[in-house]
Amino acid sequence: MRDLLREPGFYGKTLRTRALGDFTITERAYPARYATPSHVHERPLFCVVLDGSYEEVNGGRTHECTSSTILFHAAHEEHLERFGQAGGRSLIVEIDPEWYDRVREVAPGGVRTSACDGGALRMTGARLYREFLNGDDASRLIIEGLLLEISGEFLRVRQCGEQRPPKWLDDVRDYVEANFARRITLASIGKAANAHPVHVAQTFRRFHHCTIGEYLRRLRIVFACGELANSESPLAEIAARAGFADQSHFNRTFKRMVGIPPSQYRRDTTSR
């Protein structure tokens, strides 16, 4: 893949590029299953993911990037990317250090390396790409305004420290709790929350400290415990009502999570 190397720190095939004063903006494409080596950038930059998906590994943390993601990279911070089967396409905005210094005058510490998914930033990223393609006399001014807007949103994320869960996270929890016995997918959960499924999964884990699948499994076991203690229903029937594929799957999961088989749990609870 050495032919994909454009310059030190930049990988992928350049589709088009524009130099606009304090910014150099480049659209790049990446083939399926492409993985960059660990690298750094000499200048700070924003990356707007246009198509495809990839894993971004930075400082030991992994972020699943999709077409709803915008990232900021501080200069000289090491990271790498691993693209999926569809490859990817991104808009890279390299920022002149003097312009970035003006941002830091407003917000000491500046923008930290981070990623944002969905929301207003997704629309702003789409507008930035349209202005990049436009190329008229007004686009340079509009692009700078959009980059200031994006910087402000990233600063807000830094200041909030992502300590408050988004409002739609309650909708996700309610949806899972109401449908735990059914076969639900990340796509259906994302639709219920009106957010990208990958972003939903990452946000749920951040604030609930478990994956959606783990939370779903927990709900099923809690339901099964109640049925075992308060009904005489056969184990196979309880397994089906709880959402398990079959009784053997139910038995294995129950024993792993509770520590004893469901039949013993029933005997222990009903003999008290």
Element (H, E) at 205: helix 197-208
Q: For the structural domain made of 2-160, what CATH number should be given? A: 2.60.120.10
Top-confidence residue, 3 or 114: 114
What is the domain partition of the chain in residue ranges? 2-160, 168-209, 214-270
> Which residues are 27's β-sheet partners?
16, 91
* Residue 10's pLDDT band (cuts 50, 70, 90): confident
The residue among 206, 172, 202 whose CA lies nearest residue 189 is 172
Q: Is 107 helix (H, G, I), strand (E, B) or coil?
A: coil
User: What distance in Å separates the CA atoms of residue 108 and residue 157, rounded to the nearest whole number?
Assistant: 14
Residue 264: partners with Cβ closer than 8 Å, 6 or more residues away: none
Q: Is 138 helix (H, G, I), strand (E, B) or coil?
A: coil
Which CATH superfamily hosts domain 214-270?
Homeodomain-like (1.10.10.60)
Mean pLDDT over 125-138 rounds to: 89
Q: Whole-model pTM? A: 0.59
Q: Is 93 helix (H, G, I), strand (E, B) or coil?
A: strand
User: What distance in Å separates the CA atoms of residue 46 and residue 152, rounded to the nearest whole number?
Assistant: 13
52-84 pLDDT, tens digit per residue, is: 999 998 877 888 899 889 999 988 888 999 999
> Which residues are 94's β-sheet partners?
24, 45
Mean pLDDT over 150-164 rounds to: 69
Label residue 44 exposed, middle or buried (CB < 10 Å: 0-12, 13-18, 19+): buried
Mean pLDDT over 20-28 rounds to: 93
181-196 pLDDT, tens digit per residue, is: 998 888 888 888 877 7
